Amino acid sequence: MLQAIDDKQDWHAQRTAATRPSALAAARHDGKKHLLLAASGSVAAIKLPEMARSLSRFASTLSVRVVLTSHARRFLAGQSREQPTVDALRGLPAVDAVYQDADEWAAPGWTRGAPILHVELRRWADLLVVAPLSANMLAKLAQGLCDDLLSCVVRAWDVGGAIDGRKKRIVVAPAMNTAMWRRGFCLSSPPPSPPPWIGMTGGGAWLTR
C-alpha cells in the first residue's frame, strides 16, 4: 500500500512539474515541432483522444500539449472507450502535458516576475489548433473575452509576429448543432463571421491570417 501511495505521489509530482510554465521554457528548444491542441465544450470533444492518438507516430519529431476547458473535461471522464479520462490522455505518445484552467493558478500562486502559463504556451507553440470550437467559445473569441486558459492563450497569440518575431497561425474547427451554427451573429455574409484577426478557409474551418 505504501508503494502505491509513493507511486501516486511521484506521478502527481511529475504531472505538476510538466504543467509548470518553467517546463515550457525548457522545452522550447527541444528540436521538435510544437502543437498546442485545444478542446472546448462541444460534444465533438470526444474526438480529441482519437486526434491525439493519430499523432503518436510523429512522437519523435512532434511535441503535443493539450488544453482542455472545464466544459471539455465533462466529455472526457471515462464514460466509454471513446471517452477516456484526462489521465489516460496524458499517457498517449507525443502528448507531453495536459493543461486545465486550474494550472494557470497552480500553487503556490503567481508572484511578481514569475512566468505566466498562457504566455509561455504561446511562446512554446508553433501552431494552435482548437478542435472542437464550441458555440460558446466561438462567441467569446469573437468578442475578445479571455476568462479561462484557452481564451487567454488565444487573446495573447502573436498572430503577426510583432512580439515573438515569428508569425503563427490558429486553426479552429467549429462544432455545434446546425441551428446554433446558423443563429445570431453567425448569420452574416459569408457565414459565419469570424473575428477580425481570423481569415476564412474551406470546409468551415478558420485560419489566422
State if pTM tops 0.85: no
Q: What is the mean pLDDT of each run of 10 residues along the chain (209 residues)?
A: 47 60 89 97 96 96 97 96 93 95 83 90 96 92 92 94 92 89 57 52 51
**Domains delineated in the chain:** 34-208 (3.40.50.1950)
Could you tell me how many residues make up the chain? 209
User: What cell was used for 36?
Assistant: 498546442
Whole-number pLDDT of residue 14: 55
Q: Exposed e or buried b for every residue in 144-167, given b needs 16+ CB within 10 A?
A: eebebbbbbbbebbeeeeeeeeee
Question: How much is the CA Rg of the chain, to the nearest whole Å?
Answer: 17
Q: Give me the phi and psi of 148, to 5 degrees please.
A: -150, 180
